[in-house]
Amino acid sequence: MEALQVLSLRMISEEDSILQEHKDAYEDLLYSEEPDAESKIVNIFKESQEFIATALLSLRWCAINGVLLSWSPKESVWAKRLSSSYAAARRNAI
């Protein structure tokens, strides 16, 4: 779930300021218990922002499954582990 969350955030943006803007705009929707929450996210598809809608649906799925959403992918243990593994493999290849 942590990997899905990080990848979803990266689909939105790699810039913290843009992620913060999306957090402010969409966080309530991700945790919403309203029956039409998914349809509100799907409406984003109609605005030609498929990647954002897909990422938000994935983040909502994480939230529904009880994962605490962090809007900073750099803080993810999974992302840190992946980055260090990649760096180590890259050093060994050189």
Domain ranges in the chain are 2-93
Please tell me the predicted confidence (pLDDT) of residue 73.
82
Contact (CB, 8 A) for 44 and 53: yes
Please tell me the predicted confidence (pLDDT) of residue 94.
67
C-alpha span between 67 and 33 (Å, rounded):
15
Comparing 3 with 88, the larger pLDDT belongs to: 3
Please tell me the predicted confidence (pLDDT) of residue 61.
92
Q: What does the pLDDT look like over 40-92, one tens digit per residue?
A: 888 887 877 788 889 999 999 999 998 888 888 888 888 888 778 877 777 77
In this prediction the pTM is 0.77
Contact (CB, 8 A) for 23 and 71: yes
Contact (CB, 8 A) for 91 and 47: no
C-alpha distances out from residue 43 to 7, 36, 53, 67, 91, Å: 21, 11, 8, 24, 45
Outline where DSSP puts E strands in 2-81.
none
